[in-house]
């Protein structure tokens, strides 16, 4: 079956520190990979995505590269801000048509201190 | 509408009661999904609609859970004989279609608490 494993949180960083949140996956077929973010009191929002191997998704200074050889999609940001404090979810979906449901990891809480 | 709207935002009920949760997707989005998110966990898939029909209901935990989308827009998730273990945030998401390139837009969720 399909599954996503994320590093456990919380991750606590000081402002302007470098961020890495690890994500690895198991999938039947060739998945698309996503990072979603959930800010306090808000709904899940798509942060970035990559649909094939070696693709790099990027948004708001965050990046993640689809690594098929290591089945990974680690999230990185060079300099975090207090406003980046949120819960980050790695997710995958398999198949181009039909069921497009996402399989999520358990989430990683990021706390950025000023 | 501009986003996916879910009502109620909070629902407290007693064990054994019946509950309905409503989702109003983005106008024109044909695909609609329900997820359940327990505390400290990622969302878990429940059911997927393409238009009016439930294309995949494999995530529904048991026959107490049912969802409809009679006109291909608004959807209602129905839970009969609620149990304490049903307490969670129920998320709805919609997308333009079912292709791999389409991105899901989530609502803010309905928090269900069963006492």
Q: Which residues of chain A neighbour B93 with C-beta distances below 8 Å?
A: 44
Q: φ and ψ at A84, to 5 degrees? A: -85, -5
Q: What is the pLDDT of residue A28?
A: 83
Q: Say if the Cβ atoms of B98 and A98 lie within 8 Å.
A: yes
User: Cβ of B42 and A104 within 8 Å?
Assistant: yes
The number of beta carbons lying within 10 Å of the beta carbon of residue A40 is 7
Contact A102, B31 (CB under 8 A): no
Stretches where chain B sits below pLDDT 50 are: none
3-class secondary structure, B43:
coil
- For the ranges A28-32, A33-37, B56-60, the maximum mean pLDDT occurs at A33-37
Inform me whether the pLDDT recorded for A100 exceeds 70: no
Model confidence pLDDT, tens digit, residues A77-97: 999 999 999 999 999 988 654
Instruction: Supply the pLDDT for residue A98.
Output: 47
Query: Mean pLDDT across the stretch A30-54?
Result: 91
Dihedral pair phi/psi, residue B86, rounded to 5°: -80, -10
pLDDT > 50? residue A110: yes
Contact B109 A97 (CB under 8 A): no
Overall average pLDDT of the A22-27 stretch: 95
pLDDT of residue B2: 77
For A19-45, what is the mean pLDDT?
92
Say if the Cβ atoms of B100 and A32 lie within 8 Å: yes
On average, the pLDDT of chain A sits at 92
Token pair 């960083």 in the structure block, residue = A13
Residues A21, A26, A32, A34, Cα dihedral to 10°? -20
Note whether A29 contacts B: Cβ–Cβ < 8 A: no
Distance between CA atoms of residues B86 and B91, nearest Å: 13
Cα–Cα distance measured from residue B34 to residue B44, given in angstroms and rounded to the nearest whole number: 9
């Amino acid at each position: 079956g399909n599954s996503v494993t994320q590093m456990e949180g919380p991750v606590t960083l000081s402002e302007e520190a470098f961020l890495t949140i690890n994500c690895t996956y198991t999938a039947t077929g060739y998945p698309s990979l996503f990072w979603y973010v959930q800010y306090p009191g808000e709904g899940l929002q798509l942060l970035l995505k990559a649909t094939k191997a070696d693709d790099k998704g990027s948004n708001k200074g965050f990046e993640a590269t689809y690594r098929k050889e290591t089945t990974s999609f680690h999230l990185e940001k060079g300099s975090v801000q207090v406003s980046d404090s949120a819960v980050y979810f790695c997710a995958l979906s398999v198949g181009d048509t039909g069921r497009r449901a996402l399989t999520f990891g358990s989430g990683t809480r990021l706390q950025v201190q000023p | 509408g501009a986003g996916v709207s879910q009502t109620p935002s909070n629902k407290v009920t007693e064990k054994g009661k019946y509950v309905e949760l409503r989702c109003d997707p983005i106008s024109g989005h044909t695909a609609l999904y329900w997820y359940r998110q327990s505390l400290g966990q990622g969302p878990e898939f429940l059911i997927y609609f393409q238009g009016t029909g439930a294309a995949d209901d494999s995530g529904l935990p048991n026959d107490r859970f049912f969802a409809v989308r009679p006109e291909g827009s608004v959807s209602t998730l129905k839970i009969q004989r609620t149990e304490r273990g049903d307490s969670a945030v129920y998320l709805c998401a919609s997308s333009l279609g079912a292709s791999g390139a389409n991105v899901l837009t989530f609502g803010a969720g309905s928090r269900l608490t069963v006492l």
